[in-house]
Amino acid sequence: MRAFRCGIGYDAHRLVSRRKLILGGVEIAHKRGLQGHSDADVLSHAIADAILGALGAGDIGKHFPNTEESIRGISSMEILRHVATIAAQKNARVVNVDATVLAEAPKISPHITAMQEKIADALGVKANAISIKATTNEGLGAIGRSEGMAAMAVASVEVT
């Protein structure tokens, strides 16, 4: 029997000095990067959580705990590849992802195509199955003060 399921994901990280800014697997020139145990790619983390949720497989922290030193600095593309493996083990495939990055700066739109390609490659899907949008927080809250960035995502999977 074929079934379609959906999941949601959210992630946020603080911006700090002396870190690269990685979003959707793409390094973006910026004066600060996101702080975290991994590469702190909020976009990829939100997508991973959305897919894991759709699969009923827990969350990113279950599979990649921030207490595990052996994975410190892990690429979020590796995390997404692992999520794709979990999907395959559950006889499922990612149908589509819709995600939004919340950040005051830098401009995200020039990097969206590259992000779609990197994420799609890691998940084993076509780039047109990955939708990425960006918005600001209109100066409101920690994100609006450029203290951090966040992302949210919805993913659909087909289970056979």
The number of folded domains in the chain is: 1
Q: How far is CA 75 from CA 24, 25, 95, 159, in A?
A: 10, 8, 23, 27
Biggest alpha carbon–alpha carbon distance for the chain = 50
Question: What type of residue sits at position 13?
Answer: H
Predicted local confidence at residue 119, as pLDDT: 98
Predicted local confidence at residue 117, as pLDDT: 98
pLDDT tier at 1, thresholds 50, 70, 90: confident
Q: Beta partners for 15?
A: 34
Cβ partners under 8 Å of residue 132, min gap 6: 24, 43, 99, 100, 101, 108, 112, 115, 116, 119
CA 36/CA 151 separation, integer angstroms: 14
Domain encompassing residue 70: 3-159
Of 63-67, 76-80, 121-125, the one with minimum mean pLDDT is: 63-67
CATH number at 70 reads: 3.30.1330.50
Query: Is pLDDT above 90 for 118?
Result: yes
* Interval 91-114: pLDDT, tens: 999 999 999 999 999 999 999 999
- How confident is the model over 41-52, as a mean pLDDT? 98
Share of the chain above pLDDT 70, in %: 100
H or E segment at 81?
A: helix 76-89
Share of the chain above pLDDT 90, in %: 94
Query: Is pLDDT above 90 for 47?
Result: yes
3-state helix, strand, coil in the chain (%, to 5): 35, 30, 30
